Amino acid sequence: MNKADLIEALAPRLGGRAAATAAVEALVDVVLREVASGGSVAITGFGTFERVQRAPRTGRNPRTGERVPIARTTTPRFRPGSYFKDVVADPAGLPAEGSAGVRGAVVDGAASRSGAPPSVRRSAGEEARGGRAAPASREGRASKRAASGTPSSVRKETPSDAAPVESEAGPSAPGGAGLVFAGGEDITAGMISAKKAQLARVKNDQVIAESTSSSSKKKKNKGGKGKKKGQDGKGKGKATSTNKGKGKG
Amino acid sequence: MNKADLIEALAPRLGGRAAATAAVEALVDVVLREVASGGSVAITGFGTFERVQRAPRTGRNPRTGERVPIARTTTPRFRPGSYFKDVVADPAGLPAEGSAGVRGAVVDGAASRSGAPPSVRRSAGEEARGGRAAPASREGRASKRAASGTPSSVRKETPSDAAPVESEAGPSAPGGAGLVFAGGEDITAGMISAKKAQLARVKNDQVIAESTSSSSKKKKNKGGKGKKKGQDGKGKGKATSTNKGKGKG
DNA sequence: GCGGCATGAACAAGGCAGACCTGATCGAGG
DNA sequence: CCTCGATCAGGTCTGCCTTGTTCATGCCGC
């Protein structure tokens, strides 16, 4: 999926290609600027874009074998959030768990993607849009609501739009992920509930332990530790960051 | 910057917080799904989100020193694009190099980027000017425009909003970053021209070499190599990817 | 606006994959 | 049309990931 594909996928949700284009570009712009200026951009569950300092080190010119000094540099990094990791890991892990039917769906999805030249993909995209034509009117209503500032209403809109995408991309996602996507909910919006459901499944035998921990959490922090974390993290053997850090303590 | 901050930063460009929220969540959703299902999401210059397989390996429990097998896993990865890398690296590197003249060049480059899709550019530019009239009322209009698909008008709005952010985080950012952002333009849109300006500065003495290479490039490829690239890349010592790859050859 | 719950950061030691160096070519993307 | 991106070579050094705990932050729902 390239930028155009991404915009195509977003268009139904965001009120058209132009809006989707604006969204992609604006978001990329903001992230770039923030990271370039020393900040970080964190979306819980998805991940964090940040800047890291890399100390000088030695490289090799593979051609000549000559040692080449790699100067200290500053580079962008994305650290995937746990939910992102889980979702990506689950599809791979799930096949063994999943049903054959799900596999079949997986194969179908994969095949269409791998063998599909861009043009074929586009036509598929168009068909998908066709399928979404009906929701278009609903979309108009949604934009109204958006103007009134009701994110949840926008989210409500996502389901019907996302559903077709799910069926396409869903093959490898199903199983646990299917649980997450089945409702057609925006993942970021549903992360917590999804995660909760997962944990509930995995740890339903730990309920007592959880209730214990929740009671301990009610004690709340006192004054907070005010522990300041450097933006570039670990400080272990790391070059000192030029980041100012955000004192939220 | 967290999700709320990001939405705050995007709101002026996208017609309000609701639209910005939808944008962020939709984009994250699409990326998550695509990567989870084995695909990748590439935005030229910004970077590529993809899925990689990690072979089984051995870790250590730092507490006990005990060796712990880390099963083969599938994990998300973001590979920053060259422009992102340059922008992040330049703030640190450019202060020494920066010149106002170069800034002008960047701005000019951005202006000359008329090579982009003409139709989108034109409508965007026109509305952008109009859109700057009154911020408060503009927001209402912006949402309308978002519906009608006018990204660049929203973009033009960015400068005034981004400037404060820069000045806050800017200490380390200015200089190079300022050069890039001075025009208040959307970075992704201006990436190519900015890069070009940079290269022109660095390599203006290599013009002859470039003209030589351009002539050699005119010979064009014959039949193409049809080299197939696996989605998970390098294959060098890597676990075989489950990705089907996109046969575009 | 607040509360509850999930996420994220930090830390410990060790091993190995990944990043990055240069330079050339060609295809893809915008 | 021009830039970006992928690939490749060999060597060096960094970062990821393991477990488990604690505390702070983020974010969604009420």
B74 touches chain A (CB under 8 A): yes
According to the 3-state scheme, what is the secondary structure of A171-195? HHCCCHHHHHHCCCCCHHHHHHHHH
- Give the chain B residue whose CA is nearest to the CA of A185: B29
Identify the band that residue A31 occupies on the pLDDT scale cut at 50, 70 and 90. Answer: very high
Q: Nearest-CA residue to the C1' of D13?
A: A57
A77 C-beta less than 7 Å away from strand D: yes
* Strand pairing class (B67-70; B57-60): antiparallel
Q: Which of A38-42, A208-212, B133-137, B171-175 has the highest mean pLDDT?
A: A38-42
Nearest CA in chain B to A20: B23
pLDDT band at B228 (very low <50, low <70, confident <90, very high): very low
**Range name among A21-35, B47-61, B108-122 with the lowest pLDDT average:** B108-122
Q: Distance from residue B214 (CA) to nucleotide C25 (C1'), in Å?
A: 13
The 10 Å Cβ neighbour count of residue A130 is 10
Distance CA B4, CA A159 (A): 22
How many Å is the maximal CA-CA distance in chain A? Answer: 64
Among candidates B19, B27, B47 on the partner chain, residue whose Cβ is nearest the Cβ of A146: B19
Closest residue to C13 measured CA to C1′: B62
CB–CB of A158 and B29 under 8 A?
A: yes
Task: Give yes or no for CB of B221 within 7 Å of strand C.
Answer: yes
What span, in angstroms and rounded, lies between the C-alpha atoms of A92 and A34? 33
pLDDT (0 to 100) of residue A30: 93
What pLDDT score does A95 carry?
35
pLDDT at B123 over 80: no
Residues 78-117 of B with CB under 7 A from strand D: 79, 81-83, 115
Ranges A140-154, B43-57, B66-80: which has the least confidence = A140-154
Which of A28, A41, A149 faces B187 most closely, judged by CB atoms?
A: A28
| Mean pLDDT, residues B109-121 | 27
Mean pLDDT of the region A119-130 = 25
pLDDT digits (tens, 9 = 90+) for A194-241: 444 343 343 333 333 323 232 222 222 222 232 333 333 333 323 333
Give the per-residue pLDDT at B187: 56
Among A67-81, A85-99, A160-174, B52-66, which is the least confidently predicted range? A160-174
Q: Is nucleic acid strand C under 7 Å from A1's C-beta?
A: no
A:125-184 residues touching chain B, CB 8 A cutoff: 140, 143, 145-151, 154-155, 158, 162, 165-166, 169-173, 177, 181
- List the B130 CA – C7 C1' distance (angstroms): 43
Cα–Cα distance, A166 to B50 (Å, whole number): 18
> Which residue did the predictor score with more confidence, B235 or A90?
A90
In one-letter notation, the amino acid at residue B31 is V
Tell whether domain A1-60+67-80 is in CATH 1.10.3720.10: no
Give me the pLDDT at residue A107, please.
22
Contact criterion met (CB < 8 Å) for A91 and B26: no
List A residues 31-60 in contact with B (Cβ-Cβ < 8 A).
Answer: 31-44, 46-47, 49, 51
CB contact (8 A) between residue A154 and residue B22: yes
- DSSP 8-state symbol, B236: T
B199-230: burial string, b at 16+ Cβ within 10 Å, e else: eeeeeeeeeeeeeeeeeeeeeeeeeeeeeeee
| B19 contact residues in A (CB cutoff 8 A) | 14-15, 19, 23, 146, 154
What is the location of CATH 4.10.520.10 in chain A? 1-60+67-80
Whether the beta carbon of A192 falls within 7 A of nucleic chain D: the reply is yes
- Which positions in chain B touch A172 (Cβ < 8 Å)? 36-38
The whole-model pTM stands at 0.60
pLDDT band at A14 (very low <50, low <70, confident <90, very high): very high
The question of ipTM being above 0.85 is answered as no
In strand D, the nucleotides that come within 7 Å of a protein beta carbon are 1-20, 23-29
Better-predicted residue by pLDDT, A3 or B214: A3
In chain B, which ranges are E strands?
A: 41-43, 47-54, 57-60, 67-70, 73-80
Task: Indicate whether B47 pLDDT > 70.
Answer: yes
Q: Give the pLDDT mean for A51-75.
A: 89
Answer whether any strand D atom is within 7 A of the Cβ of B234.
Answer: yes
Predicted local distance difference test score (pLDDT) of residue B188 = 52
Which residue on chain A is closest to B158 by alpha carbon? A26
B54 touches strand C (CB under 7 A): yes
Between these two residues, A145 and B44, which has the higher pLDDT value?
B44
